Amino acid sequence: MSVKIAKFSGFCFGVKRAIKISIEAAMKNHEIITLGPVIHNPQMVEKLAQKGIKSISDYSEIKGRPTIIRSHGVEKGIMAKLQRDNIEIINATCPYVSKTQEYALQLSQEGYQVIILGDKTHPEVIALKSYVEGKAIIVAESFDLPEGKFNKVGIISQTTRRVEDLQDLVKILVPRCEELRVINTICNATSVRQDSTIKLAKDSDLMIVIGGKNSSNTKMLARISDNFVKTFHIETSSEIDKKWLQNKDKIGITAGASTPDWIIVEVYNEILKCVGQIEKLVSEVEDIPGFKEEKNG
């Protein structure tokens, strides 16, 4: 039996950066808070809490303390309020997300009806739409589009969507607009993780996708993988059920962009223990067959 990991999996550039910024800020400050979890991984957020980084959900709880802006960004109005209230801002917004916010503002200022491909309940999208002047249309897929024709449409995407969904949306909109401007804001880390997952899923009997249940990019990896082979989405090794592994010859593992290495290692080792291959346990993610992280952001 083989257990392989997708070549591109785990932390992306934006998540690594957000954690680094957060920890550095925590070292300088006694009390520090984040408006919502810095990243969508409960286990990593718990580790950050142990370093004094407290996640709150309401602005009123800030009470003058230095505030980390989560990797997903925050609404334009909240940013302005923080500045007005002289709160020290530690901006851990992923630079690709910030760039998408700039495009949202620019497109709407240039007279485009902005359409966002994304999940309207996700913090990245909630923040993103606040940068649109006028009313943004948010669609999770092309079926959500309102009826009718448009003059000038500008499309941006939540950074973690599937490019196929963006393609479908654009295809449907072409005959319905005079002008269509598409900024492909799906980040490279998302694309390479998805491609890598598909490649591994095609060659596996079972896929384990590791990451926060609230992580958009992880959920998307699980959805994509499940198109090819039976797939389980777990947060930690404790969720693995021995039965899943019965009669499986090739097991594939992938992990979302916010999943820390130590959890990947734990899951890998747990699978090996379940199937009795204890002599192959690893201590570093780099030792898992297939894993070779490249500087892909």
Angle at 240 between CA 236 and CA 246, to 5 degrees: 155
Give the CA count within 13 Å in the CB-facing half-sphere of 152: 7
Should residue 166 be labelled a site residue for its own copies when binding is judged by CB under 8 A? Answer: yes
Residues of this chain, 248-287, that bind its own copies according to CB under 8 A: none
Q: Which residues pair with 113 in a beta bridge?
A: 153
Q: If binding is defined by CB under 8 A, does position 104 make contact with its own copies? A: no
Binds its own copies by CB under 8 A, chosen from 140, 182, 229, 275: 182
Name the residue nearer to its own copies (CB basis): 83 or 184. Answer: 184
Window 189-248: residues binding its own copies (CB under 8 A): 191
DSSP string, 33-60: EEES-SSS-HHHHHHHHHTTEEEES-GG
Tell me: does residue 139 bind its own copies (CB under 8 A).
no
Residues pairing with 157 in the sheet: 117
Q: Which of 124, 235, 279, 284 is catalytic?
A: 124
Instruction: Give least dist CB 254 to its own copies, A.
Output: 20
- CB closer to its own copies, 145 vs 182: 182
Position 181 contacts its own copies (CB under 8 A): yes
The conformation of residue 73, written as its DSSP 8-state character, comes to -
Q: For residue 138, which of 110, 163, 114 has the smallest C-alpha distance?
A: 114
In Å, how far from its chain's centre is CA 124? 9
Instruction: Say how far apart CA 266 and CA 269 lie, in whole Å.
Output: 5
Q: Who's near 223: CB < 8 A, 6+ residues apart?
A: none
110 counts as binding its own copies under rule CB under 8 A = no
Among 58, 63, 146, 178, binds its own copies (CB under 8 A): 178
Looking at 140, 163, 245, 275, which residue binds its own copies (CB under 8 A)?
A: 163
What's the closest the beta carbon of residue 12 comes to its own copies, in angstroms?
18
Which helix H or strand E contains 252, and what residues bound it?
Answer: strand 250-255
Report, in Å, the least distance between residue 110 CB and its own copies: 11
Size of the site for its own copies (CB under 8 A): 17
CB 6 within 8 A of CB 254: yes
Closest separation in Å from C-beta 263 to its own copies: 30
Asked if 151 is part of the footprint of its own copies (rule: CB under 8 A), the reply reads no
Whichever of 68 and 187 has its CB closer to its own copies, that residue is 187
180 binds its own copies (CB under 8 A): yes
H-run or E-run covering 250:
strand 250-255
Interface with its own copies, residue 174, by CB under 8 A = yes
Phi/psi class of residue 171: alpha, beta or left (left: φ > 0; alpha: ψ in -120 to 50)?
A: alpha
* Rounded-to-10 torsion of CA 256, 257, 261, 263: -40
Which window, 12-20, 48-56, 171-179, 253-261, contacts its own copies (CB under 8 A)?
171-179
Q: Which residues are catalytic?
A: 124
Name the residues that contact its own copies, by CB under 8 A. 163, 166-168, 170-171, 174-175, 177-184, 191
